[in-house]
Amino acid sequence: MSKHRTRRILTTAIAVLLAVTTLGFLALPAQAKTKKKTTKKTTTTSKKKSTTTTSTTANYKLTIPAALITGSDVTVTVTGNVVATDDGLYHLYAQQPYESGVQGTEVANAAAAQTQTFTFALNNNSANSMLFKKFVVVGTVGGTLTQLSNAEYITNPEAAAPKAAARYDGNGKKGMLLSAHLIDRVDYLTDLGVDQITYNLPIGNLMTDPSLGFESYTYNGKNYQFSKAILGQYDIIVPKMNKAGISVTLILLNNLTSDTNLIHPQSLDGTQANYYAFNTANSAGTDELEAIASYLGKRYSGDHGTVDNWVVGNEVNARSEWNYINAAVGETYAAKAYTDAVRIFYNGILSQNANARVYVGIDHEWSKSDGIPAELHYGGKSFLQSVQAAASAEGNFNYGVATHPYNVPLYNALTWAPAIQNSVTDDQNSVYVTMANIDVLTDFLCSKKNLQTDGQVRSVLCSEVGYTSLPSHGYASDDNVQSAALAFGFWQAMNNQYIDGFFNREVDDPSEIAQISDGQPDNLAMGVLSTPDWKTFTPKKSYNTYKYIDDPAQQAAILQDASAAIGQDINSLIHAR
């Protein structure tokens, strides 16, 4: 996102993670976990339910409503008026994500009928695995091989999972973006009563960092090598958090390394970006992504700690910076390629841990790009619509949505007073979604066509948020303003039943404070801790605000203090859902 509108932040943990690959963490003693506090909620409405059906393409005479794992087999049911084929048979083809029409490999056939059921072996973790395939009925009609049905993926990969690891996120929504500089300072997290953390995992490094050698993994008949140096870091972080009762969300980033198999061919045009679109366009990319998904799902489902949530990519609707793919492909193509990647991670991870969740990741742009050409940044709303259309067309699945509801612009810490007129409104035409109108996103997801397969509203994570405590680019702020903004954002999340996590910045990044834009320092001091040198850390007022806001004994005083800073009752600004 361009600086003249809203400067986007590269989380400190990413940069440090790329630099630290030899487990050089400080060996500080773990602190005892503080007792969790209960949080009063102001809403009691039950989650919305509705009956959903799989979308199909009207041109096809047959419909595959579902492809499901049943034991060690796959069952695919086909319905529709009988199509007279030359041989009287329906042929079921298995296709790769990048195949369509009558491409693929036949896995079963049966007599043409109004309702027909195909059953065949799943062959999980073998060269003939069906786990990541989509299925389509074809038949020869008048001498021409013809696609007769929609294509449908397996939508219950959890049925193949050997584990259903207990989740750690049942304590609450209070989250933190874990700083790489504070890996061993779990005492800060436990003192704050943090329930969840996020951290980044660049998968390019996972495949290429040779510093401590590689660990072999055979999947679907092929051997893969994963960096021991990168794995070693997560083997420390994830169990450490779990031991403290903290849920872990990892964000999967597709960084450019020597392993270009991971990068979409339409992204390899020489353009420099932070991260790139995942390669779902050929077997080199899909095979590797499938192996990564399976391996990570298996490794972090108990034996090396448990990762509850996985976010695929970072702010992927910001095509030019965070999910680069050539603009010429268009939004529909970009969204379909991304949806295919999300589905690969979904099927791979859930086939190992039935209790894991997989999320798509968007930024705070919503209905339009506010003057930036659409080919640079797709609106979050239209991108989610394209993702859901792609998912429904080939088998709706239960992904969640992770969003970054930063203020507009980031320099302005007053969530309740957007600086750009008419940019943050409580309707679907809002230009941005911040914590002031986060219900715009959750209302969108409550729409029948956007529901999960079970009729539930998709899980939402506010997976990256922060408010500066310093005046910035003409916008006033101080510790009181930051404290009130954090209280407001968290209280908004607490009063929205569809939000399952709210993640604030843990520590200021001195480089983000010192960085010069338009001739002046950005002063983006968004953590609850300040530091001049990454060695000493000082709690700000927002630290205690975040610590006590879910403590029943002190909650009222915290909210009253925030109301005084805001200038009106904080509860009058809450959009309860």
- Write out pLDDT tens, residues 186-209: 999 999 999 999 999 999 999 999
Give me the mean pLDDT over the 233-256 stretch. 97
pLDDT at residue 371 in the model = 66
Q: Which residues contact 511 (CB under 8 A, 6 or more apart)?
A: none
Q: Please state the rounded mean pLDDT for residues 467-491.
A: 97
Residue 500 to residue 308: CA distance in whole angstroms: 12
pLDDT at 122: 98
User: What amino acid occupies position 385?
Assistant: Q
What pLDDT is attached to residue 40? 33
Q: Would you say residue 241 has pLDDT above 50? A: yes
pTM summary value:
0.90
Residues 402-408: what's their mean pLDDT?
96
Residues 167, 155: Cα–Cα separation, whole Å: 21
Is residue 491 pLDDT above 70, yes or no?
A: yes
Q: What is the model's pLDDT at position 422?
A: 85
What rounded mean pLDDT belongs to the chain? Answer: 90
Q: Is the pLDDT of residue 19 over 70?
A: no
Instruction: Please compute the mean of the pLDDT values over residues 457-483 and round it to a whole number.
Output: 97
Residue intervals of the chain classified under CATH 3.20.20.80 are 12-50+159-573
Three-class HEC string of 111-156: ECCCEEEEEEECCCCCCCCCCCCEEEEEEEECCEEEECECCEEECC
Q: Is 358 helix (H, G, I), strand (E, B) or coil?
A: strand
pLDDT at 353 over 80: yes
* DSSP code string of 256-321: --S-GGGB-GGG-SS---SSB-B--SSHHHHHHHHHHHHHHHHHTEEBTEE--EEEESSSTT-HHH
522-558 tens-digit pLDDT:
999 999 999 999 999 999 999 999 999 999 999 999 9
Whether the per-residue pLDDT at 235 is higher than 50: the answer is yes
pLDDT at 545: 98
Quote the pLDDT of residue 33.
29
Does the domain at 12-50+159-573 match CATH 3.30.70.1520? Answer given as: no
Percent of the chain with pLDDT over 90: 86
Residue range 485-503: mean pLDDT, rounded: 98
Does domain 63-149 sit in CATH 2.60.40.2060? yes
| pLDDT value of position 413 | 95
Contact between 78 and 488 under an 8 Å Cβ cutoff? The reply is: no
**pLDDT, tens digit, for every residue of 296-344?**
999 999 999 999 999 999 999 999 999 999 999 999 999 999 999 999 9
Question: Which helix (H) or strand (E) covers residue 233, if one does?
Answer: helix 228-243
Please determine, for residue 47, whether its predicted confidence score (pLDDT) is greater than 60: no
Asked if residues 126 and 113 have their Cβ atoms less than 8 Å apart, the reply is no
Q: What distance in Å separates the CA atoms of residue 434 and residue 404, rounded to the nearest whole number?
A: 8
pLDDT at residue 59 in the model? 83
> What is the model's pLDDT at position 370?
61
The tens digit of pLDDT for each residue in 126-158 reads 999 999 999 999 999 999 999 999 999 999 999
User: Are 17 and 180 contacting, i.e. CB atoms less than 8 angstroms apart?
Assistant: yes
> Does 22 score more than 90 pLDDT?
no
Is the pLDDT at 500 greater than 80? The verdict is yes
pLDDT (average), residues 243-255: 98
Mean predicted confidence (pLDDT) in 12-36: 33
Distance of CA 57 to the CA centre of its chain: 28
In the chain, list all ranges with CATH 2.60.40.2060: 63-149
**pLDDT over 70, % of the chain:** 89
Q: pLDDT-based confidence at 420, cuts 50/70/90?
A: confident
* Distance separating alpha carbons of residues 146 and 111, to the nearest angstrom: 16
- 27 pLDDT band, cuts 50/70/90, is very low
What is the pLDDT, as a whole number, of residue 26? 29
